[in-house]
């Protein structure tokens, strides 16, 4: 077997080996547990507002772009390119 065993790593790290509590749960384990609980009906599914709110959104929830943002593609074409600035 190549590599280090868990005991080898503990021996190398010495006192810096972390000691976790018995009921420690990683973030991935928590995510999976919450998903299982939601599917089993023990936990409600999160609800999110369908419409975005805030100063950058209109009454329909569409984003309002700032004045002067974006560009016209035809204005950006190089008239001296080998294609002559034509878009098919």
pLDDT in tens, 54-70: 788 888 888 888 888 87
Q: How far apart are the first and last CA of the chain?
A: 60
Residue 42 near residue 33, CB atoms below 8 Å: no
69: left (phi over 0), alpha (psi -120 to 50) or beta: beta
Alpha-carbon gap, residue 17 to 22, rounded angstroms: 15
Q: How confident is the model at residue 83 (pLDDT cuts 50, 70, 90)?
A: low
The reported pLDDT for the residue numbered 65 is 86
Q: Quick check: pTM over 0.85?
A: no
């Amino acid at each position: 077997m190549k590599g280090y065993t868990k005991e080898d790593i503990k021996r190398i790290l010495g006192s810096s080996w972390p000691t976790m509590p018995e009921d420690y749960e990683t973030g991935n384990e928590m995510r999976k547990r919450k998903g299982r609980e939601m599917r089993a009906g023990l936990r409600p599914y999160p609800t999110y507002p369908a419409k975005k709110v805030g100063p950058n959104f209109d009454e329909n929830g569409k984003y309002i772009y700032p004045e002067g943002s974006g560009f016209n593609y035809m204005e950006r074409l190089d008239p001296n390119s080998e294609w002559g600035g034509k878009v098919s």
